Amino acid sequence: MRIAVLGTGQLARMMALEGIAMGVEFSFLKTPGEDSRCVEHLGCVVEASAGDSAAQIYALLGKPDVVTTEKEGVSVVDYEQFLPYCAVSPPAKAVWLTQNRLREKNFLNDQGVPTAAYKPADTLAQVTSAAQALGFPVIVKTQENGYDGKGQWWLDSVADITKMHGDEASGPWLLEKVVPFEREVSVVAARSANGEVAVYPISENVHKNGILLTSFVPVVQISASQAAEVNAHITRIMQELEYVGVLSMECFVTAQGIVANELAPRVHNSGHWTQSAMPASQFEQHVRAILNWPLAPTQMTGAAGMLNLLGVAVEPSAVLKPRHALHWYGKAVRPGRKVGHINITAPTPEALREQLKQLESDVYA
């Protein structure tokens, strides 16, 4: 069995590390200039040349059984070109939907999944009128290519639109009414081609400067009915898309209920804790799903969490405690860059929070 991954980052790395343990071979397709250190020695890294046909790239990738992706920012045409030769999972439609925030929000609403109120805008004049129609405060996001909080402006009033001056060319945008959330959570789930679905417990996520810093489970403040709502939403979305692989959904928990923020058609940073706390991590689960193997169970006891290593290297002997697991991606350390993470397991949510806080201060002291 061979899986080809579009992308050569840490998500591809962790997928391959799990798959290789199960006897699966990997190859990786990189874009020109893409750093492939994360997947060094894990399989053949292919860089297509302009003019290579799909058949040629498929052959260079070693004729995989499945092509998958570690990122939503792939050209849908480049992704779909493998369909005559092998399975392409998750489906290209899911990738296409999540590449554009307007398409994604329309889809979520069509599926009955609540989102922030939103309006599109192509010009700054339209930003003004859309913001007035929604009511301030609003967040303006580029419809495409925004990630980790980039390409976003928080507007409290019409006067704040001056913040966007100089960025007029970054549109079209999507305006969203600010959601007064209690916490940010996410859910990671998998569906295999035969329709089997497995949903991991919901995690709470804390961001710093727009980048995920920690995730932890269980979310003790979320009610059973809210958790069931999140599970029902992601299950319905996967069924609707005939999704195969791991899908992630970020949500806000509000006094009025669950509000979905965005989907990611892939394994997700907020699901890394599954490596330490689950019979199968999200990476193994993705491999199992796209190869149509039985999915692993997703019930857990105890508590688990993850701290992202953002632009910091750690000295394992100084920082790691017995229930800590270090995952290092093999990248050069640059400020703010995700270079690794540490997973923690603990018997109770309280003990977990305490240890996560301690670890954060040890790492970022």
Residues near ligand AMP (CB under 6 A): 116, 139, 146, 149, 176, 178-179, 184, 207, 210, 261-262
Provide the minimum distance between the beta carbon of 271 and ligand AMP in the complex, in angstroms, as a whole number: 15
What tokens appear for 106 in the block? 């329309």
**70 or 184: whose CB is closer to ligand AMP?**
184
Nearer to ligand AMP, 150 or 321 (CB): 150
What minimum distance in Å lies between the beta carbon of 186 and ligand AMP? 10
Distance in Å, CB of 200 to ligand AMP, minimum: 19
Backbone φ and ψ of 309, nearest 5°: -95, 105
What's the min distance (Å) between Cβ of 76 and ligand AMP? Answer: 21
Q: How far is CA 64 from CA 2, 118, 193, 326, in A?
A: 5, 41, 17, 30
The nearer residue to ligand AMP, 152 or 231, going by C-beta atoms, is 152
Q: What is the DSSP string of 91-156?
A: -HHHHHHHTSHHHHHHHHHHTT--B--EEEESSHHHHHHHHHHH-SSEEEEESSS--TT-SEEEES
**Minimum CB–partner distance for residue 250 and ligand AMP (Å):** 6
Residue closer to ligand AMP by CB (options 179, 306) is 179
CA–CA separation, 143 and 173 (whole Å): 5
70 or 262, CB closer to ligand AMP? 262
DSSP 264-312: ESS--GGGTTHHHHSSS-HHHHHHHHHTTPPPPP----SEEEEEEEES-
Collapsing DSSP states into helix, strand and coil, what is residue 257?
A: strand
Nearer Cβ to ligand AMP (204/284): 204
In the DSSP assignment, the letter for residue 191 is E
CB of 299 to ligand AMP, least distance (A): 27
Which SS3 state, helix, strand or coil, does residue 11 take? Answer: helix
